[in-house]
Amino acid sequence: MREVGGPAAVDPLGMALADPDPRVKRQAVEALAGHDEPEVTGLLAQALNDPNPGFRLEVLDALTDRGEEGLGAIARALADRDPRVKARARELLELTLEPQANAEDD
């Protein structure tokens, strides 16, 4: 996904993660996923505290390409109160870490 709005858009998109409208929050996650700025990972990780488990699932998917910090946030989601979020976090970690383990074996 390409970067939407440039670096100046990160702060407003971060604020949109707390919007009461779920559509706005989803669009913010999608837009933030296209940004390379380091603070984006922290914003997405904070969004894992949202009360809506469906939204937390979307945030998990956005964190998969955020490097070690993103993986750390996904790992913390293993303690989520919703079993679907826990299961998705486990699945994403397995999918992400398995190729790395196979590469190390080569």
Residue 39: give its domain's CATH number. Answer: 1.25.10.10
Residue 1 forms part of a structural domain: no
Domain membership flag for residue 97: yes
pLDDT in tens, 57-97: 999 999 998 999 999 999 999 999 999 999 999 999 999 88
- Give the model's pLDDT for residue 98: 75
pLDDT surpassing 60 at residue 2: no
Decide if 22 is inside a domain: yes
Residue 2 located in a structural domain: no
Q: How far apart are CA 61 and CA 90, in angstroms?
A: 12
The reported pTM is 0.85
Contacts of residue 21, defined as CB under 8 A and 6 or more positions apart, other chains included, come to: none
> Based on the structure, what is the number of domains in the chain?
1
The candidate with the shortest Cα–Cα distance to 10, out of 52, 54, 42, is 42
Q: What is the model's pLDDT at position 79?
A: 98
Burial of 72 from C-beta contacts in 10 A (0-12 / 13-18 / 19+): middle
Residues in the chain: 106
Domain limits at 35? 7-105
Report pLDDT for 102. Answer: 57
Q: How far apart are CA 7 and CA 34, in angstroms?
A: 11
